[in-house]
Amino acid sequence: GYGANYLPSTFIIFALWNLPLKVFSMLPVEWGDWNVPFFLWNKLLVAIVFFAVGYLIFRICRDCFLFNEVKAKLASVIFMASPIAFYNQFIFSQYDIFAVFFLLLGVYYYFKMEEEHKNLFHFVLCIGVATTFKYYAIVYGVTLILLKEKNVLKFLTYFAGFILPSAVLGGTYFILDRDSFIESVLKFNVLGYATEAQNGLSVGSETINLMIVVLCVVMAFAYFTSVSDKWNWMCWSVYLCCGVSFGIFSFMKWHPQWIMIAIPFWSIAFILNKKCETFLWVDLLLGLVFNIFVVNKYIGICDESLFRYGILSPIVRYREAADIVMADIYRYDDMNILFSLMVAIFLI
């Protein structure tokens, strides 16, 4: 049906979360029959998971990198105070945070795998679950395992573990409603973003997909990199994940909320760098460029319309405001320049 473009994991989580509303007969009866308590209840879920991600960053920095409490909390605050993270979670309010949570939980177990063997299983499972929410989460998992595991057969075993949850959910969906699965999931238009080569390089009659090139180089670099100790292994893990983020969001068409998955790695990388304060200014610059880009590219979708037509619009009275959009205030017509600036900051 409409909107069922992802695997069932997202819908399962919201179904479980809405059980109390079902018990008290507070669920909407028909499509579009929404109410404010219903919206706020579901927004509460993604907000809780957002803060849970912040706590995971704190635990990774404290328990794995062995930073002191203050420094670990600073990394968490950097994530939660990021302009892009704040916009995506509390203004756009999307559910990409589920993928971020399971990916970060997997990273936590990844750094702990040498302490207990079962943590390796937890890492593979978490990456697999994250992939059911956002498919590109698997690229982070593959990169991390290539840095640690050089045995090809073992790598293939872990890769099978990454795709198993998606295969189970997708197979179940296919069996229950084959036509809907094909039309809504397999033919979902965003799946084509990875092959469109937004910033492709033309060579004769062919076009080189730079996203695929960069991601392959990052994963190859991970495989051929030998780390001498745990500290270097963890640092390389964070930096390579930043490289994956650069490859995905610099050379592929994306939606604003997707970038959320990169911010935890940037936040940890800031703390690892001696010039942390400088990177915070860079993050603010990225937030400014990002917002100008979004309100000019997605007019009427991801701008003030989120308030004008939101659930609190009768209270904030945006419907009665002058017919001015944010693009009239933050006017910038050359999207290529803005996108180029963001790509440069992604690389930095």
Question: Looking at per-residue confidence, does 304 or 49 come out higher?
Answer: 49
Q: Take residue 240 and report the two structure tokens written for it.
A: 């390579």
Q: What is the pLDDT of residue 242?
A: 97
Cα R_g (the chain), whole angstroms:
21
Q: Which of 282, 298, 273, 301 is nearest to 341 (CA)?
A: 282
Q: What is the pLDDT of residues 97-135, one digit of tens each?
A: 999 999 999 999 999 998 888 999 999 999 999 999 999
Residue 47 predicted with pLDDT over 50:
yes
Instruction: Judge contact between 22 and 38, C-beta under 8 A.
Output: no
Query: Hey, CA dihedral for 145, 150, 151, 152, is it positive or negative?
Result: positive
Q: Spell out the SS3 assignment of 147-170.
A: HHCCCHHHHHHHHHHHHHHHHHHH
Q: What is the SS3 assignment for 52? A: helix
What does the alpha-carbon distance between residue 96 and residue 46 come to, in Å, rounded to a whole number?
Answer: 9
Q: What is the helix (H) or strand (E) element at residue 296, kind and residue range?
A: helix 276-297
Q: What is the pTM of this model?
A: 0.92
Q: What is the pLDDT of residue 199?
A: 60
Q: What is the pLDDT of residue 116?
A: 84
Mean residue pLDDT across the chain: 89
Q: Which of 60, 69, 131 is nearest to 99 (CA)?
A: 131
Q: What is the pLDDT of residues 185-194, one digit of tens each?
A: 888 878 788 7
Residue 2 predicted with pLDDT over 60:
no
Q: What is the pLDDT of residues 70-100, one digit of tens each?
A: 999 999 999 999 999 998 888 887 889 999 9
Q: Take residue 342 and report the two structure tokens written for it.
A: 């963001």
What does the alpha-carbon distance between residue 283 and residue 277 come to, in Å, rounded to a whole number?
Answer: 10
Q: Which of 312, 284, 314, 258 is nearest to 6 (CA)?
A: 258
What does the alpha-carbon distance between residue 255 and residue 302 come to, in Å, rounded to a whole number?
Answer: 10
What does the alpha-carbon distance between residue 313 and residue 326 come to, in Å, rounded to a whole number?
Answer: 17
Instruction: Judge contact between 145 and 137, C-beta under 8 A.
Output: no
Quick one: pLDDT band at residue 314, thresholds 50, 70, 90? low
Q: What is the pLDDT of residues 255-293, one digit of tens each?
A: 888 999 999 999 999 999 989 999 999 999 999 999 999
Q: What is the pLDDT of residue 91?
A: 81
Q: What is the helix (H) or strand (E) element at residue 186, kind and residue range?
A: none
